[in-house]
Amino acid sequence: MKKVFLCTFLLCAFLVTHLKAQQRPNVLILYTDDLGYGDLSCYGATAISTPHIDWLAQNGLRFTDAHCTASTCTPSRFSILSGRYAWRKKGTGILPGNANLTIPTDITTLPKVFKRAGYITGAIGKWHLGLGNTSPIDWNKEVSPGPREIGFDYSFIFPATADRTPTVFMENQTVVGLDTSDPIYVSYEHPFAGELLGKEHPEMLKMKNDPMQGHNYHIVNGIGRIGYMKGGKRAEWTDEELGLTFNTKAIEFIDRSREEKKPFFLYYAIHDIHVPRMPATMFKGKSKLGYRGDAILEMDHTVGIILEALKQRGMLDNTLIVFSSDNGPVLNDGYLDQSPETALAEHYKPAGIYRGGKYSVLEGGTRVPMMVYWANKIKPHTISNALFTQIDLMASFAKMLDEKLPENEFTDSRDYFSTLTGRQNTNRNYIIEQSGNNTLAIVKDGWKYITPGNGPTLLKAVNIESGYSKEDQLYNLKTDPQETDNLALKFPKKLLELKTLLNETRKEL
Ligand code: NG6
Ligand code: CA
């Protein structure tokens, strides 16, 4: 009798755990690069059409007030993966390609939360969070710590940005296709003997760099880059095949999760639409907006490919998809690819109604497109005006997975899973935004306070308004979304409230 009871108990326990694992959705984060609030047709763009991305909005939830934590890449990615504001840690600004890993390996991270819950975890695409812990990095063997040490079972990445050396793919932290007789060396200080540089060989370039901005050092695929590199000739990528390569690896990873019968968490950091914009041949000249528009079409195609792959495998209904961007838009970010001219001709506004863009502290810097798709859980065509920040993904998914974040460990991440999935419209209490020069802003109840500083009001090289001022700035975003009427003197109490809250938050940790 006892035996029968025990067996029944064990069977029930097994079924409950199994069922729980089955109910857990796969989670896919599609994280694009430099995509602005006004760059998608589902956010009002008319000069471009993004049907696959729009599908996510039509069949899920679209945010109007979602933010990345910074208006540049590394700090936003640092925050989304670690659940900590990047300004709390030194050395988390835009990284060179030979920087060491910035995310501590001993803290809870977004992928670790999934791993603990029994998921298989993967990082594909752009990394830009540093690798290894030696200087210089030895690129000719496995480089660690890296994605694995912060919680990713699998990674297929490029180390920094497409405009920085080393211009190679890395699978599980090892350069792909490396010929050992042609070892790789990378430097950001000195060129290597015999290395041809863009600034000395403009005749070798198929796309001109902006002389104001550099990008005229190492040459790969007829494009000048930031940084120097020697060797690894066979391993170097062709920009036109970045999309195809990453998509293929993403699908392989999805298949691996099926084989292992585990739900997956995939952080797919799509390389589009960052410079150099050099999309696959089939997208060249396809938009009215030059290579930047063509790169948007390539990014939309990528989303379509991944959605189709999930559908074909019967996995779409059980995959929760988050689509967003790491910072606001920029037209000329170092290469003369006609983006500013075509945007002007088409009256194209990459940040939508907002001012500023990449690097700036104005809304255009961090207010980004964000959609969440989850079949049968989120109603089609849901629009949320709630204030949301990507830093909360870690605590929100921990909640979904019933995983407790360690109580004795500091985190900036809070659970807003109900807001993320449209069940509630609850605003986050406040959010903090960080600009390219580390100016901070805080937004609460529709009010925004920007700290004073010395930066230029116009970032000349990229032609973007920064939002910097020597004075305290206070805006009412509800009535003045373009941040034109500084109310700091008119509302001293509000100013003090936001200033104090920001200072208190800064002191935490
Ligand atoms: C800037 C680069 C820009 C881009 C950016 C990083 C110059 C003048 N400009 O420093 O081209 O690479 O860094 O972009 O070097 S991000 O999206 O990864 O933050
Ligand atoms: Ca970026």
Nearest CA residue ID for atom 4, ligand 1: 333
Could you give all domains of the chain from N- to C-terminal order, each with its CATH number? Answer: 23-178+237-420 (3.40.720.10), 431-506 (3.30.1120.10)
Ligand 2 geometric centre to CA of 220 (Å): 21
Closest C-alpha among 279, 289, 296 to residue 343: 289
Q: What pLDDT does residue 509 have?
A: 76
Residue 462 Cβ < 6 Å to ligand 1 = no
How many whole angstroms from its chain centre is CA 125? 10
- What pLDDT does residue 248 have? 98
226 lines ligand 1 (CB under 6 A): yes
- Return the sign of the alpha-carbon dihedral for residues 330, 335, 339, 342: positive
Considering only CA atoms, which of 162, 164, 116, 170 is closest in space to residue 141? Answer: 170
Helix (H, G, I), strand (E, B) or coil at 322: strand
Measured between its terminal Cα atoms, the distance across the chain in Å is 56
> What pLDDT, on the 0 to 100 scale, is given for residue 1?
52
> Which residue's structure tokens are 């991305």?
53
The percentage of the chain sitting over the pLDDT mark of 90, rounded to a whole number, equals 95
HSE-CB of 292 using CA atoms within 13 angstroms: 29
CA of 215 to the centre of ligand 1 (A): 9
Is 73 near ligand 1, meaning CB less than 6 Å away?
A: yes
**Element at 30 (helix H, strand E):** strand 26-32
pLDDT at residue 6, as a whole number: 55
- pLDDT at position 322: 98
Q: In this structure, are strands 473-476 and 170-171 parallel, antiparallel, or unpaired?
A: unpaired
CA 254 from chain centre, in angstroms, equals 20
8 contacts: CB under 8 Å, gap ≥ 6: none
Residues lower than pLDDT 50 in the chain: 12-19
| Helical residues (DSSP H) of 359-446, grouped into ranges | 363-366, 393-400, 417-420
Closest CA to 124 of 269, 274, 240: 269
Q: Is the CB of 273 under 6 A from ligand 1?
A: no
Pairing of strands 61-63, 154-158: unpaired
Q: What is the chain's length? A: 509
- Residue 236 carries which DSSP code? B
Q: How far apart are CA 249 and CA 40, in angstroms?
A: 25
What CA–CA distance (Å, rounded) separates 388 from 365?
15
Rounded to a whole number of angstroms, the CA Rg of the chain reads: 23
